[in-house]
Structure 1
């Protein structure tokens, strides 16, 4: 595979991208019935992977390898922690930059699959979706994969997420996690009061509240676990049901015992089959999913 080193767009958008080997033989997939899907070699599918809060690229790269092994283009990006927690107003700008990046790379005519992880990835996707509504040149999103997301905003969930990111000595971890949780909850409270009094609209940093009403109708695939201690599986199932009611083609893969964002490491073969099957379905559908519930009526 040809590797593109970390790049900077507009000064602060660092991403990793892999392009397939120019000599990759796409016909070789025809010998493997589990992974057969037809691609246009002129406009190869692009998989945009959005990492969880605090995700290191070496971990996200394990997921992108699923698609790279099939000769697809991958882009990996994780929003900075400060943008996800206390500078959330900057997420809007990141969503717009991701759309700009796809256009600058001339990927507007390529089918694009978004593969996101946890609420960090869902929050970023929320702003990507908002940016797509305003772009003059459509980007051909054909499907979205939700891994361990989305979940309701909870203080307990926030504390556990921060604790996992900080790591280290248990006493230092607990004290710092508690301080940061209190600080972020104070910001949440301020946002809640300000927005509710001014407009009464859904909070901009609430992925479930915003994404359940997303107007784009491309297929969505949910991968989650009943053993997830960070985001309850009932949150995801409730969200998936809401999307079904809006006419979205929804599929789900639920595990019994895998931890948060570790379904792939626990069930590699089943996970891989699931995402490739979803990708195959999205590429085979002839419908243009770059339309909204409003235009469908």
Structure 2
């Protein structure tokens, strides 16, 4: 049975279970040619439609490409399976001219994970960094701390109290084994790897300014981790700006103050257009 299309995405094409694409017929010299929206872990198309609607109002001539990521994608799928998931999106990115106007906007550590994977696939095939004009890091990057990770994965647990308790117990054991596995292999975990990759000049050109949007009230990604990453990026030569909310939850800044949120997006884009 075909799932109901969320309001706001009726005119989008669904390329696979994870990807939606909108291609307007108009063009503009000042708007982005393409907005790449990469959702947080378990963000649904309905969640992402709120951002798509906002971008259509701001930049009606921009193409919009939405990519979603689930807990299974981030924690359990193989690299090959994840590449297959994002293939329709990466195939579109391959066709972009080097002087394209590309705005990349991703959310949380799940979005950072998928964005990095697409950037690496692009670099491997094209031999250069993804031609990003500007980038928004929304509620990311954090670190894989114990409590924050449990909260992030608990979001999708059943509401039934017994099943929820069992699920949380499983997650606590899983987290310990997860960290232990990476430690025994002498490797960074996925979140720390994502932090490092986001400041890799081979993947993300320093000419693309970036906006960090985050909140003191975020209980999944500590605002200090976000600011720390921004300072590291700045020291490497990236141009950064920050919009620090005080009361919004994780990836929920748009819900608290939509005017401020979209003004922040416009501020970044006006700096490059």
Q: TM-score, normalised by structure 1?
A: 0.77
Question: RMSD across aligned C-alpha pairs, in angstroms?
Answer: 2.5
Name the counterpart of 2:56: 68
Name the counterpart of 1:120: 110
**Total equivalences in the alignment:** 256
**Structure 1 segment 39-54 matched on structure 2, within 5 A:** 39=31, 45-54=33-42
Q: TM-score, normalised by structure 2?
A: 0.84
Give 1:73 shift: 1.1
User: Do 1:51 and 1:79's aligned partners in 2 also have CA atoms closer than 8 Å?
Assistant: yes
**Structure 2 counterpart of 1:78, from 68, 73, 89:** 68
**Structure 1 counterpart of 2:14, from 6, 30, 46:** 6
User: Do 1:84 and 1:120's aligned partners in 2 also have CA atoms closer than 8 Å?
Assistant: yes
Name the counterpart of 1:210: 197
Name the counterpart of 1:256: 246
After the TM superposition, list the runs of 4 or more consecutive aligned residues in structure 1 that deviate by more than 6 angstroms. Answer: none
**Structure 1 segment 37-186 matched on structure 2, within 5 A:** 38-39=30-31, 45-69=33-57, 70-71=59-60, 72-87=62-77, 89-90=79-80, 93=83, 97=87, 98-103=89-94, 106-109=95-98, 110-136=100-126, 139-186=130-177
Higher Cα Rg: structure 1 or 2?
Answer: 1
Post-superposition Cα deviations, 1:140-191, rounded to whole Å, max 9, x if no partner, equal 2112101111101112111101111224123321321220342244133213
User: Do 1:45 and 1:112's aligned partners in 2 also have CA atoms closer than 8 Å?
Assistant: yes
Seen in structure 2, the aligned counterparts of structure 1 residues 108 and 14 have a Cα distance that, compared at 3 Å, is farther
User: Do 2:212 and 2:241's aligned partners in 1 also have CA atoms closer than 8 Å?
Assistant: yes
Seen in structure 2, the aligned counterparts of structure 1 residues 91 and 159 have a Cα distance that, compared at 3 Å, is farther
Instruction: Extract unaligned runs of 5+ from structure 1.
Output: 27-36, 285-297
Name the counterpart of 2:19: 15
Seen in structure 2, the aligned counterparts of structure 1 residues 14 and 86 have a Cα distance that, compared at 3 Å, is closer
Instruction: Extract unaligned runs of 5+ from structure 2.
Output: 1-7
Which stretch has the larger CA shift, 213-222 or 73-82?
Answer: 213-222
User: Do 1:18 and 1:68's aligned partners in 2 also have CA atoms closer than 8 Å?
Assistant: no
